[in-house]
Amino acid sequence: MVTIQSVLRDAWFAAAAVLAVAGAGCGGGGGNDGGASGSAAQFIDANHYSAAAGASLSTPSEATGVTHHTLTLGGGAIAYTATAGHLSALDAGQAPEASIFYVAYTADGAAAATRPVTFFFNGGPGSATVWLHLGSFAPKRLATGVPATTQSLPFPYVDNAESLIDTSDLVYVDAVGTGLSEAVAPHTNQDFWGVDADAAVLRDFVLRWLAVNGRTASPLFVFGESYGTTRVPVLARLLETAGRRVNGVVELSSILDYNSNCSVAGGTPTVDCAGFLPSYAAVGDWWHLDSGGAAADLDADIATVRGYADATYAPDAAAWLANGTLPPADHLASLVAFTGLGTATWQQQFDMDFDTFRHQLIADTTLGVYDGRMSALVGTPLDADDDPSNSFVAPGFQSGIDALLPALGYTNPSTYVMASNAIATWNFSHGGRALPDVVPDLSATLALDPQLKILFLGGEHDLITPFHQTELDVARLGAGAPLALHFHPGGHMTYLDDGSRPLMKAELAAFYAGAR
Amino acid sequence: MRVAPFIPLLALAATAGAAPLRDPGQPPAAAQQAAQAQNRARPASVGATLDAEAEAHLRASFDAADSAHRGTLSRAEAQAGGFGWIANHFDAIDTRRAGRVSFDDVRRYLKSRGAGSATQ
């Protein structure tokens, strides 16, 4: 065991040396000829990684595959290094807690003191960070053509004109029990399957990555999607508490409070669904079923419905939940006009959950959970998982990551687990609540660091984390909070939309410039 | 006619195993039921209540660092106990130059900066 670990450590140090040489070469000469290192470090990791609850790794590896690349962006060439492999999160006594898999894209020759580094986290819990890695702002991305469902597999892996590599180094991190990340003995994956334990071990990973890579002075950003937007506020608070400044938090497709979201993952509503109504209207607008607005201008439609949701629908829905009474007929007529969803469906389930909405809007048709613009006829292959917006893209992301890792010099026989069963035994309790509310975490983080900036992004056609619910949740922070919110046509993985990704890139660039 | 919310919730949870992972996915049924009971008595926090919940997170970190249960931390104890933020701001927090700070000292410092909403 000692020999295996020492060999792997040596391999890691060799990889680190390659990185250091590459950085020095570009920084000193100003040229991007790549002659400083030339070779790539290839690594075959013999460990078997498991996403099972009881899994526990006895011989963590810190070896990495290192490859060198160039991306042409906005007329300039950016030379960057991709590093793929594991780094152990260490506890307070410097003992390894978990072997965390990551892929880092770092620009060559940048000044560590001023070059931002961003850590990305998908959610689930139980989801690997494959969506943000392969779909959003890395130097390359999978071209899906969403919301169309015509692109055949494998999705083309193309240079990303909207990559954030011109702004920040990018580190894609798999939580414990997802991707290729696993707890280190005597810990098991289950030890880190809870809101607080997960954020703590990811804090330890981030601090270790920054220390090992000489980045303790770099501006730091954390970027979460979906459950990752629950994870990242807790992580940011823990980092600031530990004394590590966080410059910016980016929240994409947010669930900040599981108690205010009326229909978490399609559950039966127990609070009013006003946060969902504008998203229903946007989806109705897409399918030309609404008659509420003067057509074309989606933003104007949304503004109208947002106001109606808060002033009229919220109290109506609360009354229906409390005693089953329906509002006057003209209220029902407004809802039908806004969304295109029929009167009978509103009468049956007045506090409208998204599963009812997406199955009832169009006869014999299932609309996507993640993107209500995507559809499948009931009984067709795209409807097999009851979510065409997931069924269409998931196989392409699995084959995409399976092909990418060896190309980045990292080879391992284990299955890269895109979705584990962590949620079944996840400890959701947090802050004295059975289900997490991380608005207090954002508040505490802002108290520790008044310079922190927070950006919320999302898709107007996302039916699982509706944008207006985010607006309602963050309003709790008060009018003076340093927040920016931008929502665009698109689904949960809003960056998949070729029209919205450039808008998001511009908003991110402005956000990073203002959060230094 | 509407049915009571508990019944379909349980029914959904029972069949959730067959469905692919959603993100965010449904928490375990027991957590959902506990939350429903809790939320009736504890609505979403705003204003002073939100500030108190934010402060509770910081106090929990302070108490975790205070392993000797003295009610105060030295700069070194704060650093070693995972509350590096206190160590980094120690001189500004320790206005009495006592060499140790209490959580009330931390609160006073946060309030004196007039930033954020927690502890105001």
Q: Which of A476, A477, A471, A430 is nearest to A452 (CA)?
A: A477
A409 and A472 co-located in one domain = yes
A32 inside domain: no
A132 and A72 co-located in one domain = yes
Question: In the prediction, which pLDDT does A38 show?
Answer: 39
Q: Which residue did the predictor score with more confidence, B34 or A2? A: B34
Helix axes B6-15, B29-41, angle to 10 degrees: 150
Number of domains present in the structure of chain A? 2
How distant is the Cα of B25 from the closest Cα of chain A, in angstroms? Answer: 5
Tell me the torsion sign for CA atoms A371, A376, A379, A383: negative
- Backbone torsions φ then ψ of A473, nearest 5 degrees: -65, -45
A111 and A146 co-located in one domain = yes
Range of the domain at A352: 264-391
Question: In the prediction, which pLDDT does A52 show?
Answer: 98
A290 and A438 co-located in one domain = no
What contacts A163, CB < 8 A, 6 or more positions away?
A: A71, A73, A137, A138, A139, A140, A141
CATH number for the domain that contains residue A474: 3.40.50.1820
For the segment B82-113, what is each residue's pLDDT rounded down to a tens digit? 999 999 999 999 999 999 999 999 999 999 98
| Final residue before a domain boundary, out of A340, A367, A391 | A391
A322 and A372 co-located in one domain = yes
A33 inside domain: no
- Backbone torsions φ then ψ of A80, nearest 5 degrees: -140, 160
A17 inside domain: yes
For the segment B6-29, what is each residue's pLDDT rounded down to a tens digit? 333 333 333 334 456 799 999 999
A113 and A225 co-located in one domain = yes
Q: Is some CB atom of chain B closer than 8 A to the CB atom of A243?
A: yes
- Per-residue burial over A366-404, b = 16 or more CB atoms within 10 Å of its CB, e = otherwise: bbbbbbbbbbbeeeeebbebbbbbbbbbbebbbebbeeb
- Per-residue burial over A297-309, b = 16 or more CB atoms within 10 Å of its CB, e = otherwise: ebeebbebbbebb
Neighbours of B99 (CB within 10 A): 10
Collect all residues of chain A within an 8 Å Cβ-Cβ radius of residue B41.
none
Minimal Cα distance from B29: which residue of A?
Answer: A424
A416 inside domain: yes
- Per-residue burial over B20-49, b = 16 or more CB atoms within 10 Å of its CB, e = otherwise: ebbbbbbbbbebbbbbbeebeeeebbeeee
A85 and A232 co-located in one domain = yes
Cα dihedral A399→A402→A407→A413 (10° resolution): -150
B83 with A237: CB under 8 angstroms? no
Cα dihedral A404→A499→A493→A264 (10° resolution): -170
Question: In the prediction, which pLDDT does A267 show?
Answer: 83
Collect all residues of chain A within an 8 Å Cβ-Cβ radius of residue B57.
237, 431, 440-441, 444
Residue type for A135, please?
Answer: G
* Contact (CB<8Å) B118/A255: no
Return the structure tokens found at A242.
């530990």
| Final residue before a domain boundary, out of A329, A357, A391 | A391
Question: In the prediction, which pLDDT does B20 show?
Answer: 67
A196 inside domain: yes
Question: In the prediction, which pLDDT does A295 show?
Answer: 54
Low-confidence spans in chain A with pLDDT less than 50: 1-39
Q: Is some CB atom of chain A closer than 8 A to the CB atom of B49?
A: no
| Final residue before a domain boundary, out of A349, A374, A391 | A391
Question: In the prediction, which pLDDT does A372 show?
Answer: 98
* Contact (CB<8Å) A447/B115: yes
A34 with A68: CB under 8 angstroms? yes
Question: In the prediction, which pLDDT does A311 show?
Answer: 98
A100 and A226 co-located in one domain = yes
First-to-final CA distance of chain B: 47
Q: Which of B29, B25, B23 is nearest to B11 (CA)?
A: B29
Calpha distance A361→A287 (Å, rounded): 9
A90 with A204: CB under 8 angstroms? yes
- Backbone torsions φ then ψ of A139, nearest 5 degrees: -60, -25
A151 and A186 co-located in one domain = yes
Question: In the prediction, which pLDDT does B115 show?
Answer: 52
A403 and A364 co-located in one domain = no
A184 inside domain: yes
A455 inside domain: yes
A474 and A363 co-located in one domain = no
Collect all residues of chain A within an 8 Å Cβ-Cβ radius of residue B8.
268
Question: In the prediction, which pLDDT does A298 show?
Answer: 87
A175 and A223 co-located in one domain = yes
Return the structure tokens found at A367.
């609309």
Collect all residues of chain B within an 8 Å Cβ-Cβ radius of residue A220.
none
> Going from the N-terminus, what domains does chain B have, and what CATH number goes with each?
6-41 (no CATH), 47-113 (1.10.238.10)
Looking up tokens 């995409």, which residue turns up? A400
* Contact (CB<8Å) B22/A266: yes
Collect all residues of chain B within an 8 Å Cβ-Cβ radius of residue A390.
20
A34 inside domain: no
